A and B are shown apart, each in its own frame.
Chain A
Amino acid sequence: MSTLPPGARIYLLLRRWVPVTVSHDVLEPAVADLQHEAGQADTPAQRRRIVVRGHLAIARALLLSIEPAGGVGIAIALAALCAMGALLLTAARAAHVDGRLLNSAILAPAMLAPFVLRVFGKTSARGLFAGSLLVAALTPILAGDVRHAVVALIVFAPIAAAAAIVAAPDGDGTVARRAVTAVSLGSGVATAALLLSRWPQSGALSADLATTPFYLMLFALLFAMTLLPPLLLARVFLARRAPLAIAGLVCSPAPLIVSAYIDHGTLAACLDALRHTPLSFAASSLPFAVGAIVVGWRLPPGRGVCPYEA
């Protein structure tokens, strides 16, 4: 039989994790009032009701006191992204859809992560990279697939690095310095994950293995480059970031349409293929769309020349 008063356990557990101000302003007075009220109860049933109601009030108060830049807020946002990805992944597997949809279920939340972290006040490129990579690795683990987590680390590390470069704020070092940091981190994590995945089979270290992260990085950069020409054109007319980000979104299906055109030979056959697999097309577009919005947002805005001006 425990002799601890009601709320004591939750207080002892949470006071280590919540910020000092939240503990002082919210947790301590809420628990103290709960303990006092429970002590005044006439019957055990009334006491139980008070304890349940008090715990619900504490939970609500703690949720309301989450600050945007706080660590708890960031953790909740990343957990929500992972949960969203895991849900997508599980649903995609259950529907036996093609591999592109499965990839998008992992890539989309991971590419959203730098954006979300910026909203929550995280500003260092390394922090954005780590958060993005964490989401990419945890999403398949949450969906019950540890093997895919390693694959995600290999494939996604360079992409996360590229996303961190474009999403990092201007004050966070020079672009060249950020790029070097991101490439080093991305390639390093991808190589480590690749070695780890081959370790049980004692796979020999080969030139292919050593250069894989470099090629993945190159691929990620080329992928981003395909979106630059239309965005640079849009920049001539658009002076603000939000319309540029929207232009990126509008342009994002272009690489997929082009690749479908290359696969199918004619424009009619390409459009026909897209019409017959709209879900797959939409899912494949997700990472492109997110990437395009980020690139559009980060592109230095132009002078905003109005096309109708004389």
Chain B
Amino acid sequence: MAPPSLPQSERLVLELLLDGPDFGLNLVARSEGALKRGTVYVTLGRMERKGFITSEQEPQPAGAIGLPRRIYRVTPLGTRALRAWSNLLRALAPEPGA
């Protein structure tokens, strides 16, 4: 079995969502170029299937035209995954003077 991994893009999404729920396009804008609008939805979909985030449709006012936007929020599992990954990276980092 492949070892569990948390790609850079997923880590970044989790970090951004820890500040509060947000839309896909806003995550792209807040990532300062690290996330692309052509790939962010694929990343978000994959993370939702992993259980790291959840999403729901934004309530639309009556008479609004167009599709409702999807808002994403981090799950407790996603928070734990991010924390565990950070701990792992810290544990594997070379010790000063080693």
For residue A61, CB closer than 8 A to chain B, the reply is yes
What 1/0 mask marks residues of chain A from 36 to 64 whose CB sits below 8 Å from any chain B CB? 11010000000000000110110111001
Task: Determine the distance from Cα of A28 to Cα of B70 in the docked complex, in whole angstroms.
Answer: 8
Query: A31–B37 contact, CB under 8 A?
Result: no
How far, in Å, is A172 (CB) from chain B's closest CB? 27
Count B interface residues, CB 8 Å.
20
Query: B69–A61 contact, CB under 8 A?
Result: no
Q: Which of B24, B42, B44 contacts A64 (CB 8 A)?
A: B42
For residue A70, CB closer than 8 A to chain B, the reply is no
Query: A57–B70 contact, CB under 8 A?
Result: no
- Taking CB atoms, residues of chain A closer than 8 Å to B65 are 3, 5, 35
Task: Determine the distance from Cα of A64 to Cα of B39 in the docked complex, in whole angstroms.
Answer: 7
For residue B25, CB closer than 8 A to chain A, the reply is yes
Query: B24–A25 contact, CB under 8 A?
Result: no
**Interface hits, A71-95 → B, CB 8 Å:** none
For residue A99, CB closer than 8 A to chain B, the reply is no
- Taking CB atoms, residues of chain B closer than 8 Å to A26 are 41-42, 45
How far, in Å, is B20 (CB) from chain A's closest CB? 17
- A contact face: mostly helix, strand, loop, or mixed: helix
Query: A30–B66 contact, CB under 8 A?
Result: no
**Interface hits, A6-47 → B, CB 8 Å:** 8, 11, 21-22, 24-26, 28-33, 35-37, 39
**Interface hits, B42-95 → A, CB 8 Å:** 42, 44-45, 48, 55, 65-70
What 1/0 mask marks residues of chain B from 29 to 46 whose CB sits below 8 Å from any chain A CB? 000000011111110110
- Taking CB atoms, residues of chain B closer than 8 Å to A11 are 67
For residue A65, CB closer than 8 A to chain B, the reply is yes
Query: B38–A25 contact, CB under 8 A?
Result: no
Q: Which residue of B lies closest to A29 (CB)?
A: B70
- Taking CB atoms, residues of chain A closer than 8 Å to B25 are 33, 36-37
Query: B38–A36 contact, CB under 8 A?
Result: no
Query: A33–B69 contact, CB under 8 A?
Result: yes
Interface, chain A (partner B; CB < 8 A): 3, 5, 8, 11, 21-22, 24-26, 28-33, 35-37, 39, 53-54, 56-57, 59-61, 64-65
Counting from the closest, the 6 A-B pairs by CB-CB distance are A25-B45, A60-B38, A35-B66, A32-B67, A29-B70, A33-B25
